[in-house]
Structure 1
Amino acid sequence: MSEHRARWSRRVLGLIAAGSTLALAVVVPTLADAHEASAESTAEIGWADCGEGSVPGAQCAQMEVPLDWTKPDGKKITLALSKLPALDQDNKIGPLLFNPGGPGGSGMGAVAYSDLLAVAPEFAPLRQRFDLIGFDPRGVGQSTPIACPKPLHDSAVSTFPRSRAAFEQLKQFNKAAGQACREATGPLIDHVDTASVVSDVEALRKALGAQKISWLGLSYGTEIGSLYAQRHPDRVRTMVLDGVVDHSLQTRTAALDEARATEKALRRFADWCKTDEQCALRGADVIATYDSVMTAARTSGIPASNLGRKANAEELANGAYTFLTQPSAWPLLSGALAAAAGLAGDADATGLVTPASFLQPEYKAYRTVGCHDFAPNTRGFVDMAVQSARLRSAAPHTWRYSEFWDWTSGCLGWPVPAANQPAPLEVHGAPPVLLVNTRYDAATPYPWAQRLAAKIEGSRLLTVEGDGHTGILNSACARGHEAQYLVTGKTPAAGTTCATSKSAAVAKAITSGGLR
């Protein structure tokens, strides 16, 4: 694999492994009407070979869309696109749009520069029967980008302020960082919400000349897909939502759900360590080791060579969370915890902090989109302290990091008005939608999938009985059901469940995605 292609693989798969999600909301009718009408003017796409490092046969293109969908004749931005034409053109079904998650994941790169959809034989029918379409959402990757010249994270600014002064420090830090993003990005920063992305998807459908689209969305991709199905149910052929987010939840409630799920994941990781020879902590008290690492990081910090300084507890909890979302990364987590605890020498937190979200190039898009779609309604220091206390009670070991707390703390004082806040979602008139979720997903807790399934008319929920974020990365059974449904349109029987299963190819893909 060329370095260019490997880089795309690391970025795309790392986002999925990290479990990033988010955002969706109901748009007022006047705005939705404006989006619908203005999408009619989209031009055809000029495809060309993607060039060096791409998957053989991959084609790339750019497409212009309005920066502001309420002003279709105004300034334009570009979207980066990719396509892998169906191998069986005589029996081609149509386009299958793929979003690998985020916010910040590159669909263009996932299709053109990685083997994400080819790491398992269960997906062979998709390559045969569909034109696989990837796109970088607005603000992401090769599309017109978000620019943030100042760091969005500072180890000296706590995400859990314990005083009014610390609360104001966090608020002012976010305000200054966000203002720098605004000045560098320009007006685009006001329009990178998921509702605008959905309008881009509809424009893409028309540009592809397709009456209907099939959709495979993971994590944050379930948000885009759900809102698209709500707005355009008659334009959906099939839709898989894998690793589901319930956007009707307020941010503070979702943070609690994630904290509980992460606490459960840590305990299941500890149980795995008791018997699996791959665990570097086998025979040790895993929970006690985790706590000792967090205590040491909180009191004095633990050296991390990739940071050039000591890592604090919030940063290490962030990294540990990322590892916990994928069982294939649990051996790496056990080694990283052992190193951070100094069990075989001087304490070294480099491995544990490496996958932390704030170190990833996608973090600026992750923060900016998240603040549009899940801005906190924190009413002041006391309110934030109450939320913090609830997290500690719900997750006594893992409370220091969840993605929704990342937005709760990171969007406090953010200077860009939120354009797409949580709101109820119902889908009527679409074909049956297939939702997939693992039982013990730390990133997108299983109850979210249950709730969203109840809101999508005629939908079917496929449960994967096991650990990990998304069925696609953790179950051959789930991959098989997803592929069969996408091709035939027939959902699995009600009550169908899948077991998790190990795949060397998938495990390699995940660990090459930035988890080392």
Structure 2
Amino acid sequence: MDSRRSLRILATALGTAGLLISGCSSGSSTSAPPSASATSPAPSVPTGLKSYYAQQLKWRGCGVEGFQCTTMIAPLDYKKPDGGDIKLAVARKKATGPGKRIGSLLVNPGGPGGSAVEYLQSYAAVGYPAQVRARYDMVAVDPRGVARSEPVVCLTGPQMDAYTQVDQTPDDAREVTTLNNSFKQFAGGCEERSGEVLPHVSTVETARDMDMLRALLGDEKLHYVGASYGTFLGATYAELFPARVGRLVLDGAMDPSLDAVELNREQTAGFETAFQAFAADCVEKKDCPLGTASTADAATRMKRFFADLDARPIATGDSRRLTESLGTTGVIAAMYDESAWPQLREALSAAQGGDGSGLLALSDSYYERRPNGTYANLMFANAAVNCLDLPPAFAGTKAVTRAVPGFEKASPVFGEAFAWAALNCADWPVPPTGTPHRIEAKGASPIVVVGTTRDPATPYKWAQSLAGQLDSGTLLTYQGDGHTAYGRGSDCIDTAINTYLLEGTPPTKGKKCS
């Protein structure tokens, strides 16, 4: 296997990921929409935004054959639309035919912080089924603060290297202080380098941007496929603009009713479920680096391996050694897609022999670290959005200490690290603007919610919950492993979603696929 290719594939999958290991939940909630009735049609142009909705998009070639790009101007602050602008990067690939064009299909890979434009150009516009691409213009906008849309920046490359190596399972007061200070430095760097945009990267604001783009594309309703955090973005759009909902697919769904502690703890349990599936597969193989006795024994060996890294980091062939934090991140990265399990087995075997390069490569793919030591802004935007969308999980280190046993119950393998990682919003420089709440989107057209039973980042129960909250939600279940389901090999799932996107007919109630 070409490891470089597999890492590129994995990085694409991680674009849809919830990034809890950095201290952020995989999704978040926002404040409720304005007080207008949710069932009343929204005005054609929201108050004070006429000039924005009337702008002319100037499309141009953008270096990738068949794609056009443009820049959309949005108000930095929707509450003060005359107080400055933000520039948002948009890309599209027009419908190829045959068949009558349905409209535009916006896509978002999640994160928050994943580049929708990159996802469109590298996967969606070539990897989505041909019949869908034939009848939709495939469109993406990088959310505000992400990638090409005035990206949030927090740390330099060397600072980020140091941040990713800080011990997230502190053993004493000194290590607790070091971890807490690392979160403060991260937050301070965001304020120093991106203070102007930082208060205005909420999910509500991004959903409003999507409605403006819908109008500028000439579509009466929004057709949309969102993965992971992208499901929360899509649900928020439906809440704000129920009358403008077209065909919405929410794959790997978030539960907007949960607070930050619940989201982090339940995601921790999701990664434990995924690890158990990996371990069960591993112990059946003679070369399993976690032994062949049982999944329980494999979990014990995994914890011992992390403890050994904590005591003695190992060489990687790089200036960085493989620490417990980097090793844990590498393992977590492979949980998103079962196709990465062979790579993880190989990396664990090599690490047991003193070579940590394989796990370091997995960790780097997760953090979007480039070969030259710089980082994409994925992790910066992830924190900025999550810390704005919800009140912090923990106010300080004492609260984390009290919560650790509950997280360890959710995941004996990852619980302690995930509990401490959820401290990162405690000293965020911008107060949160959102609160957890149910999203019903009364009056919206049918919305398809997709859940995978052993999804690590967005547990299946979240999809069940969101489908139940949405007034027009329909749950489509994939009984399997990995994060999200559409386009990952299930003909049953793909057929159901394609039928919905092309004909507007949602799956039958309770439909399950494997």
- Fold-level match, TM-score > 0.5? yes
Q: Deviations over 1:280-304 (max 9, x none)?
A: 6674763344223212112222333
C-alpha displacement at 1:139, in angstroms?
0.7
Is the partner of 2:475 in helix, strand or coil? strand
Q: Distance in 1 between matches of 2:410 and 2:289?
A: 28
> Which AA in structure 1 matches 2:508?
A
* Residues 90-239 of structure 1 aligned to structure 2 (within 5 Å): 91-111=100-120, 113-119=121-127, 123-150=129-156, 151=159, 154=163, 157-161=166-170, 166-239=175-248
Q: Distance in 1 between matches of 2:208 and 2:57?
A: 17
C-alpha displacement at 1:144, in angstroms?
1.4
> Which AA in structure 1 matches 2:471?
E
C-alpha displacement at 1:136, in angstroms?
0.3
C-alpha displacement at 1:171, in angstroms?
3.7
* Residues 249-398 of structure 1 aligned to structure 2 (within 5 Å): 249-275=258-284, 283=292, 286-306=298-318, 308-342=319-353, 349-357=359-367, 359=369, 361=376, 362-398=378-414
Is the partner of 1:241 in helix, strand or coil? strand
Q: Which residue of structure 2 lines up, in the alignment, with residue 512 of structure 1? A: none
Asked whether the equivalents of residues 264 and 440 of structure 1 are also in contact (C-alpha less than 8 Å), the reply is: yes
Asked whether the equivalents of residues 106 and 224 of structure 2 are also in contact (C-alpha less than 8 Å), the reply is: yes
> Which AA in structure 2 matches 1:124?
A
C-alpha displacement at 1:351, in angstroms?
4.2
Asked whether the equivalents of residues 429 and 457 of structure 1 are also in contact (C-alpha less than 8 Å), the reply is: yes
Is the partner of 1:410 in helix, strand or coil? coil
Taking a change above 3 Å as real, the CA distance of residues 335 and 119 of structure 1, as seen in their structure-2 partners, is same
C-alpha displacement at 1:66, in angstroms?
0.6
Taking a change above 3 Å as real, the CA distance of residues 26 and 414 of structure 1, as seen in their structure-2 partners, is closer
Is the partner of 2:197 in helix, strand or coil? helix
Asked whether the equivalents of residues 9 and 115 of structure 1 are also in contact (C-alpha less than 8 Å), the reply is: no
C-alpha displacement at 1:167, in angstroms?
4.5
> Which AA in structure 2 matches 1:397?
V
Taking a change above 3 Å as real, the CA distance of residues 211 and 156 of structure 1, as seen in their structure-2 partners, is closer
Q: Distance in 2 between matches of 1:364 and 1:10?
A: 20
Asked whether the equivalents of residues 302 and 310 of structure 1 are also in contact (C-alpha less than 8 Å), the reply is: yes
> Which AA in structure 2 matches 1:483?
N
Q: Which moved more, 1:286-295 or 1:423-432?
A: 286-295
Taking a change above 3 Å as real, the CA distance of residues 37 and 167 of structure 1, as seen in their structure-2 partners, is farther
Q: Distance in 1 between matches of 2:263 and 2:70?
A: 37
Taking a change above 3 Å as real, the CA distance of residues 479 and 321 of structure 1, as seen in their structure-2 partners, is same
Asked whether the equivalents of residues 389 and 434 of structure 2 are also in contact (C-alpha less than 8 Å), the reply is: yes
Taking a change above 3 Å as real, the CA distance of residues 374 and 161 of structure 1, as seen in their structure-2 partners, is farther
- Structure 1: which 5+ runs fail to align? 500-516
Amino-acid identity (%):
32
Asked whether the equivalents of residues 10 and 337 of structure 2 are also in contact (C-alpha less than 8 Å), the reply is: no
Q: Distance in 1 between matches of 2:33 and 2:504?
A: 31
Equivalent position to 2:67, from 54, 58, 68: 58
TM-score between the two structures when normalised by the length of structure 2: 0.86
> Which AA in structure 1 matches 2:415?
W
Q: Distance in 2 between matches of 1:166 and 1:283?
A: 35
Taking a change above 3 Å as real, the CA distance of residues 216 and 471 of structure 1, as seen in their structure-2 partners, is same
Is the partner of 2:154 in helix, strand or coil? coil
Q: Which residue of structure 2 lines up, in the alignment, with residue 38 of structure 1? A: 48
Is the partner of 1:147 in helix, strand or coil? coil
> Which AA in structure 2 matches 1:205?
R
Q: Deviations over 1:43-72 (max 9, x none)?
A: 121111122xx1x32111001101111111
Q: Which residue of structure 2 lines up, in the alignment, with residue 505 of structure 1? A: none
Taking a change above 3 Å as real, the CA distance of residues 310 and 9 of structure 1, as seen in their structure-2 partners, is closer
Q: Which residue of structure 1 lines up, in the alignment, with residue 372 of structure 2? A: none
Taking a change above 3 Å as real, the CA distance of residues 40 and 400 of structure 1, as seen in their structure-2 partners, is farther
Q: Which moved more, 1:455-464 or 1:156-165?
A: 156-165
Taking a change above 3 Å as real, the CA distance of residues 68 and 278 of structure 1, as seen in their structure-2 partners, is farther
Equivalent position to 1:25, from 13, 30, 46: 30
Asked whether the equivalents of residues 88 and 129 of structure 1 are also in contact (C-alpha less than 8 Å), the reply is: yes
Q: Distance in 1 between matches of 2:139 and 2:356?
A: 45
Q: Distance in 1 between matches of 2:10 and 2:345?
A: 21
Taking a change above 3 Å as real, the CA distance of residues 280 and 380 of structure 1, as seen in their structure-2 partners, is closer
- Structure 2: which 5+ runs fail to align? 21-25, 370-374
Q: Distance in 1 between matches of 2:449 and 2:243?
A: 18
C-alpha displacement at 1:189, in angstroms?
1.0
CA RMSD of aligned residues (A): 2.9
Taking a change above 3 Å as real, the CA distance of residues 317 and 206 of structure 1, as seen in their structure-2 partners, is same
Taking a change above 3 Å as real, the CA distance of residues 376 and 364 of structure 1, as seen in their structure-2 partners, is same
Q: Distance in 2 between matches of 1:19 and 1:309?
A: 22
Q: Distance in 2 between matches of 1:487 and 1:283?
A: 47
Q: Which residue of structure 1 lines up, in the alignment, with residue 495 of structure 2? A: 480
Is the partner of 2:401 in helix, strand or coil? helix
C-alpha displacement at 1:451, in angstroms?
0.8
Q: Distance in 2 between matches of 1:358 and 1:383?
A: 30
C-alpha displacement at 1:263, in angstroms?
1.3
Q: Which residue of structure 1 lines up, in the alignment, with residue 484 of structure 2? A: 470
C-alpha displacement at 1:199, in angstroms?
1.1
Is the partner of 2:118 in helix, strand or coil? helix
Asked whether the equivalents of residues 443 and 469 of structure 1 are also in contact (C-alpha less than 8 Å), the reply is: yes
> Which AA in structure 2 matches 1:130?
Y
> Which AA in structure 1 matches 2:302?
Y
Taking a change above 3 Å as real, the CA distance of residues 418 and 317 of structure 1, as seen in their structure-2 partners, is same
Give aligned pairs, total.
Answer: 484
TM-score between the two structures when normalised by the length of structure 1: 0.86
> Which AA in structure 2 matches 1:248?
S
Equivalent position to 1:431, from 421, 441, 445: 445
Asked whether the equivalents of residues 278 and 331 of structure 1 are also in contact (C-alpha less than 8 Å), the reply is: no
Q: Deviations over 1:315-372 (max 9, x none)?
A: 3222211201211111111111111222xx6565434533343845211111211211
Q: Deviations over 1:215-242 (max 9, x none)?
A: 1000111011000001101101110000
Taking a change above 3 Å as real, the CA distance of residues 303 and 388 of structure 1, as seen in their structure-2 partners, is farther
Q: Distance in 1 between matches of 2:251 and 2:270?
A: 17
Q: Distance in 1 between matches of 2:287 and 2:206?
A: 42
Equivalent position to 1:442, from 452, 456, 478: 456
